[in-house]
Amino acid sequence: MGVLNLTPDSFSDGGRYPTPAAALRQARQMVAQGADLLDLGGQSTRPGATEINASEELARVLPVLELIRASSGSGGGGPLLSIDTFRAPVAAAALAAGAHWINDVSGGRRDPGILSVVAEFGCPYVLMHSRGDSRSMDGLAAYADVVAEVREELLRASEAALAAGVRTDQLIWDPGLGFAKTTEHNLALLQGLADLRREGFPLLVGPSRKRFIGAVLNEPRPRARLWGTAAVCAQAITQGADVLRVHDVAPIVQTARMVDAIVRSAPPVPAREGPEAPAGGFSANA
Q: How many angstroms separate the CA atoms of 85 and 58, rounded?
A: 10
Q: Is 26 exposed, middle or buried (0-12, 13-18, 19+ CB in 10 A)?
A: buried
Neighbour tally for 245: CB within 10 Å = 23
**Measured CA angle at 81 (ends 261, 77), to 5 deg:** 85
Where on the phi/psi map is residue 149: left (φ > 0), alpha (ψ -120 to 50), or beta?
alpha
Query: Are 162 and 156 contacting, i.e. CB atoms less than 8 angstroms apart?
Result: no
| 151 given a catalytic annotation | no
Q: How far is CA 260 from CA 197, 233, 240, 266, in A?
A: 17, 11, 10, 10
Q: Catalytic: which of 210, 211, 221, 223? A: 210
| 181 given a catalytic annotation | no
Q: Which amino acid is at 56?
A: E
Q: Please give the torsion angle defined by the CA atoms of residues 215, 219, 221 and 227, in that order, rounded to the nearest 10 degrees.
A: -100
Q: How many angstroms separate the CA atoms of 177 and 129, rounded?
A: 8
Q: Provide the strand spans (E) within the chain.
A: 2-5, 37-41, 80-84, 101-104, 125-128, 171-174, 204-205, 243-244
Q: Which amino acid is at 216?
A: V
Q: How many angstroms separate the CA atoms of 68 and 6, rounded?
A: 13
Q: Catalytic: which of 46, 109, 131, 245? A: 245
Q: Give me the active site residues, please.
A: 210, 245
